[in-house]
Amino acid sequence: MPRALRDADDRTLAEAVVQHGSERAFRELYRRHTPALYQFVLRVLGGAEAETEDVVQEAWIRVARKLSGFRWESSLRTWLSAIALNLAREALRRRGRVRTEEWTDGVAPVAPAPRDAERIDLEQAIARLPDGYRAVLVLHDIEGYTHEEIGRQLQIAVGTSKSQLFDARRVVRAYLKPSREMRHA
């Protein structure tokens, strides 16, 4: 990979792709953003690797098709994450796992108690969250989005984002509590 491409910013690379059809520039964008995108989608999908690979691939296909229309009102990473998030939500719907009450204001489900002997690390705890909680937690605490940005991406109220984050953190703490108690025993 030529050093000039490695050092170029996303916008310069995207312009090379759009204006000149540069496959090298596209590969550099892919190389630069795919590892974080993969981890993001993997968390949203609760650890389903095959589905994650499909969603990431489809996200890049859509980016390639729509890159010329990208207006740079946000970063490429933000736009790519939004595309991947929508695709991940579609995958969850196809799975039949998205329950509408998770995306609206409502009573939070109670986390099932993990077995005493079961050790759960943070990634496993996140994967066990209900889909709506997991999406908000990943977007806010891991990806760094604001509640306003999350609300726009998930098409939920800001208050819903805040309450789901609160509940998601509570559930994760409940999942992790037995593991912490065992380490101190």
pLDDT tens digits for range 34-87: 999 999 999 999 888 999 999 999 999 999 999 999 999 989 999 999 999 999
Output the CA angle 183-124-114, nearest 5 degrees: 60
CATH 1.10.10.10 fits 100-185, yes or no: yes
pLDDT at 108 over 60: no
| Tokens 């790519």, located at residue | 80
The pLDDT assigned to 184 comes to 53
Domain with residues 1-98, CATH architecture: Orthogonal Bundle (1.10)
Instruction: Give the residue extent of every domain in the chain.
Output: 1-98, 100-185
Residue type present at position 82: A
CB atoms within 10 A of CB 136: 30
Indicate the pTM of the whole model.
0.73
Contact 125, 172 (CB under 8 A): yes
Mean per-residue pLDDT for 154-172? 94
